[in-house]
Structure 1
Amino acid sequence: MTPSTARPRRRSAGRRAGGPALFGECLLAGLLTVLLALPLVTLAAACATGCHLVRTTAEREGSTRVADLLAVFRRAWPGSAVPSAAALALAGVLALDVAIVRAGLPGGTAVLAGCAVAAGAAGVVGLRAAAAWRPGIAWRRVLGHAALAAAGFRRGSLLLAAALATAAAGTWALPPLLVPLTGCLQLAAVAVQPRPPL
């Protein structure tokens, strides 16, 4: 066996062995994301930090210490307030639409379907952006890449949409599931990310 053939096998074996550790890091990523996103305008930076944690664990690269993750969050923060505010504004508009439909608006089924599609599309782009972000890359570039990836890699986008729907249903049924399901969503976003990411 030559060194060139031995190295890939060792890397793949290491990834398989990291399965339980990856699950634990998904829980940590979910908790960290929820806590960092509490100010609301930090939503995008928090999601990017969680995806960074999941990715470094999956690839067995970098540090997963909380202090280092907070440093990643500080690097993700500049420029992230605008997409965070846009996501919150969209969520508010969709929630208002749903409230109006529940009050008896004619054609409510079509409106609800449109709201679901809009929420799913925004969620997929947001998750792809969080997974694509790297230190030093501007959020505008990340969002443009995420929109193109969402349209160009449709199978992965459909999988992310299904994961979002499952997470939404699980959180609605049992709110404490928000933390682990957030980490699972970030793992899904990292898993379907095209290579190279940007």
Structure 2
Amino acid sequence: MGHPVEVPGLNHLAAIVAPLCRQFSPVWAAIFPYPVDSSCRLLITQAKFFMQNLHIHGYDVGVDSWERMGATSVQADKVVNVRMSESEHTLLKAYCASLNRSMQDVLRDFALMQIQKQRFCCRLVRSLMDEHGIEQDPRARKPCFGYACYYCRHAESCAAGETDLLYIPRQEIRELVAEESAYIFDFDGSSIEPPTQMG
């Protein structure tokens, strides 16, 4: 049996990865299918895969040792840490799971949606967006722009600015909609107003 390959910085990497592996032990077997005493090169590959999985599931993990170990340096996006209560975190995690999206994607979407909507009436936001090269989202002028975009039948074409239709819910979410809001399945894309109450 060959000896493990010596790789500079491995101890530093292991010191980061090991506690994370213990913290996320329920997914250890799926993420690390090989024995931990395999070669250093394999361990590094597994560690990268582990970090990518954390990122996909909404956990931001910064590791500054990849370049020192000879890996290609990739410019990372900015990371914002959001403090919330345990119950708020649990709610957010469950909500994002229902959408099959990561927590960071949903938080980013919602934050930018609100800024984009404020651009409609705020000169300051318009100036800030222009200054930082953020283009106006074609959906921003629509009254349905927001969480409904996750459930809309034409979400992709709307995001691309290819349709003027308003929110039309996908039929597969029907069982999730409260009885008093069932009227949304009558939407034809021309309005999102509730039906006129008679009497």
TM bucket, shorter chain:
under 0.3
- Structure scoring higher RCO (CA < 8 A, sep ≥ 6) equals 1
Higher helix fraction (1 or 2): 1
Larger radius of gyration: 2
